[in-house]
Amino acid sequence: MRDPARLQALRRLGLLDAPPDPALDRLTLVAQRVLHAPAALVCLLDADRQIICSAVGLPEPLAGRRETPLSHSLGRTLVSFGHALAVGDLNADGNDEIVAGFRGRGYQLYVFTAEDTSGLRWRREILDAGTIAAADCKIEDLNGDGRPDIACVGASTGNVKIYENQGR
């Protein structure tokens, strides 16, 4: 999160405290509609805060405030620890879950489930503890049973690991 090169690149963008951009808002709206999501955000992660550059469906006062502490940022976890990221409705409740790899001490694969429609509260569950440093993950129904499964490839081994969704 505090990588000087990342923060310098972020400042060069000139978007940290920029006014709302209608073009970006249109893209956010398209993302929300295409994904059938209750909310969609475009965020930048500064050293100590998450700047909400564009938001659709975000409740007040967050929508008007346009920034949160990093403690409220799922993106912080992904920037800090993520190897891989995939999105899909794993439990068929109509809302997407997020599958993310972890590359800190030990390897883990997590599933994040939204706890409300704000996009700010997520429950984290461990899908795989210690057997894969996922460089990439995809969510697809691999066995044709109607439930999306997860396939991940290991960063150093190139091995593919399949997690069959058993509907639990």
147 binding Ca ion? (CB under 5 A): yes
Contact 140, 151 (CB under 8 A): yes
Least distance from C-beta 158 to Ca ion, angstroms?
A: 23
DSSP code, position 95: S
116 binding Ca ion? (CB under 5 A): no
Give the residue with the Cβ less far from Ca ion, 52 or 114.
114
95 binding Ca ion? (CB under 5 A): yes
Least distance from C-beta 168 to Ca ion, angstroms?
A: 13
Least distance from C-beta 93 to Ca ion, angstroms?
A: 4
76 binding Ca ion? (CB under 5 A): no
Neighbours of 116 (CB within 10 A): 11
Contact 148, 159 (CB under 8 A): no
Give the residue with the Cβ less far from Ca ion, 16 or 162.
162
Give the residue with the Cβ less far from Ca ion, 147 or 161.
147
**Footprint of Ca ion on residues 1-20 (CB under 5 A)?**
none
Give the residue with the Cβ less far from Ca ion, 21 or 89.
89
Give the residue with the Cβ less far from Ca ion, 115 or 141.
141
Burial class (CB in 10 A: 0-12, 13-18, 19+), 117: middle
Long-range contact set of residues 124-133: C-beta below 8 Å, sequence gap at least 24: 127/99, 127/163, 128/161, 128/163, 130/106, 131/107, 131/161, 132/101, 132/107, 132/159, 132/161, 133/83, 133/101, 133/103, 133/107
- Report the interface residues with Ca ion, using CB under 5 A: 89, 91, 93, 95, 97, 141, 143, 145, 147, 149
